[in-house]
């Protein structure tokens, strides 16, 4: 079972870069790593996905080391609107159609 | 493009009443489908997932059940609701686990009174 572990919460200020790390020691060979953002009373929204090394899109970067046992979501220059819960998701290796989320990280951005 | 629908958006039901929540996906075929529940202030709990019509896997023993009568339709049901069934219910779809990640619907806020 590819479980994920994230910090429960993080604080930041507007304009700073925020890095949220997720541990997934039992990641399977075919699993991808996907990060989501969730605001209250809304469904999680896809941010970025990767398999190895580095992936970058218009909103974030994802860093994955060679052993793939962790990943880091990097949010450049956060704003107040980035206050949300961020989830790391890894495909479950044993029965590959399960998708089990970790506890998530509550990011609080202050002015 | 693919679209996922859930209804109703909000629901208030008394304890012991039945429940039926529906989810449909447009623009794709043979998706994997998922039901998640999120209690207030908590994370996402996987309830059921389905890889095809009539194929349902349950993750958590409870008084809920799921059915997939058509390829792009996923239904969450209960014969008798409990207070503990209150929460935010999210349907999601994906092409395959481990790639593409699930795409979530707007959710249904269920309050059991």
The structural domains of chain B, with segments of one domain joined by +, span 3-112
Sort out which chain A residues have CB atoms less than 8 A from B49's CB and list them.
97-99
- pLDDT confidence of residue A81: 96
Token digits of residue A26: 């039992």
Sort out which chain A residues have CB atoms less than 8 A from B55's CB and list them.
none
Distance from CA of A15 to the nearest CA of B (A): 27
> A70 and A63 in contact (C-beta within 8 Å)?
no
**CA nearest to B39 within chain A:** A41
Partner residue facing A99 (CB), from B102, B105, B106: B102
Q: Which CATH number fits domain B3-112: 1.20.1250.20, 2.60.40.10, 1.10.490.10, 3.90.1150.10?
A: 2.60.40.10
Partner residue facing A97 (CB), from B51, B92, B103: B51
> Rounded to 5, what percent of chain B is helix, strand, coil?
5, 60, 40
User: At CA A86, angle to CA B83 and CA A89, rounded to 5?
Assistant: 85
Which residues, at least 6 apart from B22, have a Cβ–Cβ distance to it below 8 Å? Answer: B6, B7, B73, B74, B75
CA–CA dist A79, A34 (Å, integer): 22
Establish if A41 touches chain B: CB-CB under 8 angstroms: yes
Cα four-point dihedral sign A93, A94, A97, A100: negative
Instruction: Check CB contact under 8 Å for A104 and B59.
Output: no
Name the percent of chain B lying above pLDDT 90.
66
pLDDT tens digits along A3-13: 889 999 999 99
> B38 and B87 in contact (C-beta within 8 Å)?
yes
Instruction: Check CB contact under 8 Å for A97 and B57.
Output: yes
> B74 and B28 in contact (C-beta within 8 Å)?
no
Distance from CA of B32 to the nearest CA of A (A): 7
Sort out which chain B residues have CB atoms less than 8 A from A6's CB and list them.
none
Q: How many residues does chain B have?
A: 113
> B15 and B82 in contact (C-beta within 8 Å)?
yes
The β-bridge relationship of strands A18-23 and A70-75 is antiparallel
CA–CA dist A27, B111 (Å, integer): 36
Sort out which chain A residues have CB atoms less than 8 A from B100's CB and list them.
32, 34, 49
The structural domains of chain A, with segments of one domain joined by +, span 9-110
User: How is residue A93 annotated by DSSP?
Assistant: S
Examine the pLDDT at B101 and tell me if it is beyond 80.
no
Establish if B44 touches chain A: CB-CB under 8 angstroms: yes
Fold classification of A9-110 is: Immunoglobulin-like (2.60.40)
Q: Of the candidates A36, A18, A27, which has an alpha carbon nearest to the alpha carbon of residue B94?
A: A36
Instruction: Check CB contact under 8 Å for A97 and B32.
Output: yes
pLDDT tens digits along A50-96: 989 999 999 999 999 999 999 999 999 999 999 999 999 887 543 45
Count how many Cα atoms sit within 13 Å of the Cα of residue A17 in the half-sphere of its side chain.
7
Establish if B83 touches chain A: CB-CB under 8 angstroms: no
Residue with tokens 């395959």: B96
Residue with tokens 């935010």: B88
Which residues, at least 6 apart from A40, have a Cβ–Cβ distance to it below 8 Å? Answer: none
pLDDT tens digits along B41-82: 888 888 998 989 999 998 886 789 999 999 999 999 999 999
């Amino acid at each position: 079972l590819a479980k994920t572990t994230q910090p429960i919460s993080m604080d930041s200020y507007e304009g700073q870069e925020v890095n949220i790390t997720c541990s997934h020691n039992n990641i399977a060979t075919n699993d991808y790593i996907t990060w989501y953002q969730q605001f209250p009373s809304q469904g999680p929204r896809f941010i970025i996905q990767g398999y190895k090394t580095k992936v970058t899109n218009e909103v974030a970067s994802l860093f994955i080391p060679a052993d793939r046992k962790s990943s880091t979501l990097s949010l450049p220059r956060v704003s107040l609107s980035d206050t949300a819960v961020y989830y790391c998701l890894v495909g479950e290796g044993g029965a590959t159609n399960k998708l089990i989320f970790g506890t998530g990280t509550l990011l609080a951005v202050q002015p | 493009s693919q679209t996922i629908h859930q209804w109703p958006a909000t629901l208030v039901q008394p304890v012991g009443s039945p429940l039926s929540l529906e989810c449909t996906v447009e623009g794709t075929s043979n998706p994997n489908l998922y039901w998640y529940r999120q209690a207030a202030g908590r994370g996402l709990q996987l309830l059921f997932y389905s890889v095809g019509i009539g194929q349902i896997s349950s993750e958590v023993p409870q008084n809920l059940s799921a059915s997939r009568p058509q390829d792009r339709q996923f239904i969450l049901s209960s014969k008798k609701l409990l207070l503990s069934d209150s929460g935010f219910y999210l349907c999601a779809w994906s092409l395959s686990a481990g790639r593409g990640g699930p795409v979530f619907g707007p959710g249904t806020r269920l309050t059991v009174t």
